[in-house]
């Protein structure tokens, strides 16, 4: 009789037992590929909730103590973004087999890159749980766009209420990165209203923002985020509109449905999608287990997440500088000197400047790649 192959089961620990950490804990418990053994959180209440949900796990008030006392095959880094780099680097000192790092990889692009580079240096499998990369409806959408079902993609409009650029916007921008096949972005411009001094997930965030970017081939994204964004479709809190040369596709963030309008569906057809039983976190973690089994890390998801973080940071940098175009790659960008010029005010006729009616030729596009 042929031996029966049983897939290995990996032990796992979660750092940060909030909303993101609960997504990982539930996924680890539901998956036959993992055994959740420990959780660390700085808050006693979060540790108590984790013990109630998963009796038998060990809990710790610091990741350092947990790593010393209970090393595991897999660690899920689910704290707030500013601590992702430190926790990841501490986890990498363990005899780890794989790692999940929550989005955003860090609170800034440079640290996010360090997260990916340090995991890569260890050749460890890694996932970043961007749900739209694994959810059934959004996978179908990606496939339809790649198959040209709305022609060439030209514009992605995103409306997202109750959230901000760095916390939810990064999921949406990550999907833009996937839709464009990680095409390089020329520049990002953004405007943010910060009047309410709102913070979320340990980050200062905007009240209302518009982020604009376009890729080297000219695919645009326009994303409206903020606490009270009014969404064009009643009852939705998120709306994506993908505009192509031969059709449009609308969808509603996490909701398992989309509407396609093209020559085959000239009146628009709503596709309702069965989301399946596994959560998006479980799908990512099961992918991680497969990568560990194969001993072949695949950094596509991590690199895409990093590209999305670069867009987020460029957007915030643009906001801080009064809405200037921030060219990418970000580490080659140097902000221009502040200009004493107020568009929309009458021109006095003196004081310098240039006559916009007499431009010799079309100026270089910001960020144009030569
Ligand atoms: N992928 C997703 O769909 C998804 C969903 C929710 C949250 N997240 C991400 O998860 C991360 C956490 O966000 P959240 O919504 O869970 O926040 P949260 O406030 O619900 O929970 C964060 C938890 O981390 C703990 N914590 C913070 N710093 C810590 C540290 N140094 N060591 C141990 N514990 C620490 C806090 O006490 C808290 O319990 C963020 O990066 C967020 O973007 C991702």
Residues 255-265 have pLDDT tens digits of 999 999 999 99
Rounded distance from Cα 327 to ligand 1 centre (Å): 31
- For residue 46, is pLDDT > 60? yes
Task: Tell how far the Cα of 273 is from the centroid of ligand 1, in angstroms.
Answer: 29
Which atom of ligand 1 has the smallest separation from the CA of 131? 3
pLDDT over 50 at 145, yes or no = yes
Residue of 191, 187, 223 whose CA lies nearest to 207: 191
Residue of 13, 14, 15, 21 to test ligand 1 pocket, by largest number of atoms within 8 Å of CB: 21
Whether the CB-CB separation of 219 and 238 falls below 8 Å is answered with no
Distance 202 CA to ligand 1 centre (A): 9
Q: Which of 18, 104, 305 to mutate to test the pocket of ligand 1 (most atoms within 8 A of CB)?
A: 18
Q: Give the Cα separation of 263 and 281 in Å (integer).
A: 36
Would you give the DSSP letter of residue 291? H
Residue list, ligand 1 pocket, CB within 6 Å: 15-21, 23, 40-43, 46, 63, 78-81, 83, 102-103, 129, 131, 167, 201
Instruction: For residues 20-44, give the mean pLDDT.
Output: 98
What is the model's pLDDT at position 135? 98
Within 8 A by CB and 6+ apart from 121, the residues are: none
What is the structure's pLDDT at 362? 67
What is the per-residue pLDDT for 341? Answer: 87
For residue 25, give the DSSP letter.
Answer: H
b/e burial code for range 2-31 (CB count within 10 A of at least 16 → b): eeeeeeeebbbbbbbbbebbbbbbbbbebb
| pLDDT (0 to 100) of residue 339 | 84
- What is the number of the ligand 1 atom nearest to the C-alpha of 43? 37
Ramachandran angles phi, psi of 119, nearest 5°: -70, -40
Residue 368 has pLDDT above 50, yes or no: no
Return the pLDDT at 36: 98
Question: Which of 117-126, 189-198, 307-316 has the least mean pLDDT?
Answer: 189-198
Question: DSSP string of 222-241?
Answer: EEEEETTPPPSSTT-SEEEE
User: Which residue has the least CA distance to atom 25 on ligand 1?
Assistant: 16
CA 280 to chain CA mean position, Å: 14
d(CA 236, CA 258): 12
Domain positions in the chain are 10-124, 132-272
Alpha carbon dihedral 206, 209, 214, 219, in 10-degree steps, equals 120
Q: What pLDDT, on a 0 to 100 scale, did the predictor assign at position 363? A: 59
Which of 208-217, 252-261, 361-370 is predicted with the least confidence, judged by mean pLDDT? Answer: 361-370
On the question of pLDDT at 249 being above 90, the answer is yes
Please tell me the CATH code under which domain 10-124 is placed.
3.40.50.720
Cβ pair 328, 216 in contact under 8 A: no
Percentage of the chain modeled with pLDDT above 90: 87
- Is the model's pLDDT at 230 over the cut of 70? yes
Of the pLDDT bands very low, low, confident and very high (cuts 50, 70, 90), residue 366 is low
Under 8 Å between Cβ of 74 and 34: yes
- Give the chain's length: 370
In this structure, the residue with its CA closest to atom 7 of ligand 1 is 20
pLDDT tens profile 90-108: 999 999 999 999 999 999 9
pLDDT value at 228 more than 70:
yes
Higher pLDDT: 289 or 367? It is 289
Show the CA angle centred on residue 223, arms to residues 218 and 225, nearest 5°: 165
Q: Residue range 32-45: average pLDDT?
A: 98
Which pLDDT score is estimated for 268? Answer: 98
Provide the 3-class DSSP secondary structure of residue 251: strand
Is residue 12 classed as helix, strand or coil in its secondary structure? strand
Q: Where are the alpha helices (DSSP H) in the chain?
A: 19-30, 44-53, 63-69, 84-91, 109-121, 136-146, 170-179, 280-294, 300-320
Residue 365 confidence (pLDDT) = 56
- What spacing in Å lies between the alpha carbon of 19 and ligand 1's midpoint? 6
241-245, 328-332, 342-346: which has the minimum mean pLDDT?
342-346
At residue 318's C-alpha, the angle toward residues 225 and 167, to 5°, is 35
Dihedral sign for Cα atoms in the order 185, 189, 310, 147: negative
Mean pLDDT of 330-340: 90
Q: Which residue has the tokens 């890729």?
A: 215
Ligand 1 atom closest to 22 (CA): 16
pLDDT confidence tier of residue 202, bands split at 50, 70 and 90 = confident
Q: Which of 45-54, 95-104, 330-339 has the lowest mean pLDDT?
A: 330-339
Q: What is the pLDDT of residue 351?
A: 82
Q: What is the mean pLDDT of residues 186-204?
A: 92
Q: From the CA of 129, how far away is ligand 1's center (Å)?
A: 13
The mean per-residue pLDDT over the stretch 79-100 comes to: 97
CATH of the domain spanning 132-272: 3.30.360.10
């Amino acid at each position: 009789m042929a031996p029966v192959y049983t897939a290995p089961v990996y032990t796992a620990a979660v750092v940060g037992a909030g909303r993101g950490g609960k997504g990982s804990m539930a996924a680890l418990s539901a998956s036959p590929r993992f055994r959740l053994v420990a959780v660390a959180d700085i808050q006693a209440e979060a540790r108590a909730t984790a013990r109630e949900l998963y009796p038998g796990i060990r809990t710790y008030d610091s990741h350092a103590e947990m790593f010393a006392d209970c090393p595991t095959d897999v660690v899920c880094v689910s704290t707030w973004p500013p601590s992702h780099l430190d926790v990841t680097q501490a986890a990498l000192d363990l005899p780890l087999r794989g790692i999940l790092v929550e989005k955003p990889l860090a609170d800034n692009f440079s640290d996010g890159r360090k997260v990916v580079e340090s995991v890569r240096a260890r050749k460890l499998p890694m996932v970043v749980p961007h749900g739209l990369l694994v959810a059934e409806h959004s996978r179908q959408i990606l496939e339809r766009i790649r198959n040209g079902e709305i022609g060439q993609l030209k514009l992605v409009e995103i409306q997202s209420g109750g959230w901000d650029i760095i916390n939810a916007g990064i999921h949406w921008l990550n999907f833009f990165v996937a839709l464009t096949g990680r095409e390089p972005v020329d520049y990002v411009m953004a405007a943010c209203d910060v009047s309410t001094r709102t913070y979320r997930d340990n980050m200062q965030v905007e009240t209302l923002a518009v982020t604009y970017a376009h890729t080297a081939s000219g695919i645009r994204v326009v994303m409206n985020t903020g606490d009270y964004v009014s969404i064009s479709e009643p009852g939705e809190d998120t709306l994506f509109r993908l505009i192509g040369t031969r059709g449009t596709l609308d969808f509603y963030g996490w909701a398992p449905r989309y509407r396609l309008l093209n020559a085959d569906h000239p009146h628009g057809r709503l596709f309702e999608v069965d989301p399946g039983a596994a959560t998006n976190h479980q799908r990512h973690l099961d992918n991680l287990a497969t990568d560990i089994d194969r001993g072949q890390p695949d950094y596509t998801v991590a690199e895409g997440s990093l590209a999305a973080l670069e867009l987020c940071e460029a957007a915030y940098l643009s906001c801080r500088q009064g809405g200037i175009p921030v060219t990418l790659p970000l580490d080659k960008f140097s902000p221009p000197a502040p200009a004493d010029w107020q568009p929309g005010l009458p021109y006095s006729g003196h004081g310098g400047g240039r006559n916009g009616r007499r431009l010799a030729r079309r100026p270089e596009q910001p960020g144009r790649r030569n």
